[in-house]
Structure 1
């Protein structure tokens, strides 16, 4: 398949993609680096790369999947970098899961539980954290995960199963994923 023709001016496409996927890219980057300011920098870099490389987009995947692939690659590059190895990660976690509580007491309890779950997810090795995050928080299908991470769909399923097992070990009260 050849290079896909961009439907309208690159700047307009960039603005549309940023509006639609900006927060998702930011949260995905944060799930890797666990530092909000660095995640913002990485997200900005992802959109710069998207803009620079849009003419090479072949249309074999959606813009969403392509952006997530760029984000994953950029985060992995950062995690291998000298800068990361010399930086102390100390920022608070972003609340990915919103509670459905109604009273102030329920909200506090729900936020504590969500933060605990988020901490457990972020403590997983990257290969498990990324599948949990993309599957549950970004609601990507198994096929989209496979495309985004460039791994076999059976590997995605295995990593997802193993990640849930690791979460169950770390979260003795039980993790409610997929209504389990």
Structure 2
């Protein structure tokens, strides 16, 4: 397949599937700008690999798979988690936590909570973020992180225990 054929096919694909792919990506990343970036990455990968695409499968299915993988990679990336955790802590921690935890936060300095959450190991930080900020169910967190539901529940419980002990230490 020469460059002109690839260019023409990519343009056709972008026009035909662009909006569908953005909607699909949005369901994963929940941000329109990032969803468009994910689709842009999808089209780049599509262009690079058009020569190896076997036309026995539907191109739509192939594009969906690339988009989903792009979104999952993004959601697993440390950059995404770091940005989102900081945003979560600084903007919405008080409003998304259940009332008993909210009471503790009201008594406790927000900067100290931020430090305590950020000091947690990555595996605890990410489940705290996804559970409280993204309001994902444990099953959804398991899919995003590619771990079992029981592992998610265990990490959530341990993260809460660690935060609770850190808060108690600071208050003594």
State the TM-score bracket (shorter-chain normalisation): 0.3 to 0.5
Instruction: Report which structure shows greater RCO (CA 8 Å, sep ≥6).
Output: 1
Higher-helix-fraction structure: 2
Greater Rg by CA: 2
